[in-house]
Amino acid sequence: MESRFTETHQKLSDDGHESECDKIVKLLDLMIDGEASTEEQSYFNTHIEECVPCFESHQKQKLLKGLVCGHLKRVIVPESLALSIKARIQETV
């Protein structure tokens, strides 16, 4: 199941070519993950300055990433784990 988010942005422009917004959607992940090239970054930033839906999509995508890295609790490593790893390694010849 594709999310509604994707569907709303997958409309092709009238001539059947990829619209600018479609290209922006494809760059969203690259942008929030810091993987976009300099050219991609400036293309992206120029577009979202003028396009409200794409600007909002970018905000949403950043928020989603922030939820995972900022709110997901880390589990605590049991104290015994490091000790038993060291012990088992010392036994290994």
Partner 1 sequence: MSEQTGKQLSKEEKDARFEAELLPVLDPLYNFAYRLTLDEDDANDLVQETYLKAYRFFDYFEQGTNAKAWLFRILKNSFINEFRKKSKQPAKVDYSEVEGYYNSDDVEGEGGVASTTDMRTESVQDLIGDEVASALNALPVDFRTVIILCDLEGFTYEEMAKILDIPIGTVRSRLHRARNSLKEKLEKYAKSMGYNS
- Site residues (vs partner 1, CB under 8 A): 1-3, 5-6, 29-30, 33, 35, 60-61, 64-65, 67-69, 71-78, 81-82, 84-86, 88-90, 92-93
Q: Which residue from 32, 16, 14 is spatially nearest to 24, judged by alpha carbons?
A: 32
Which residue number, 52 or 68, has a Cβ lying nearer to partner 1?
A: 68
Is the separation of the CB atoms in 27 and 45 below 8 Å? Answer: no
- Measured distance CA(60)–CA(48) in Å, rounded: 13
Which residue number, 14 or 38, has a Cβ lying nearer to partner 1?
A: 38
- For residue 34, the minimal CB distance to partner 1 (Å) is 8
- Measured distance CA(49)–CA(80) in Å, rounded: 53
Which residue number, 6 or 13, has a Cβ lying nearer to partner 1?
A: 6
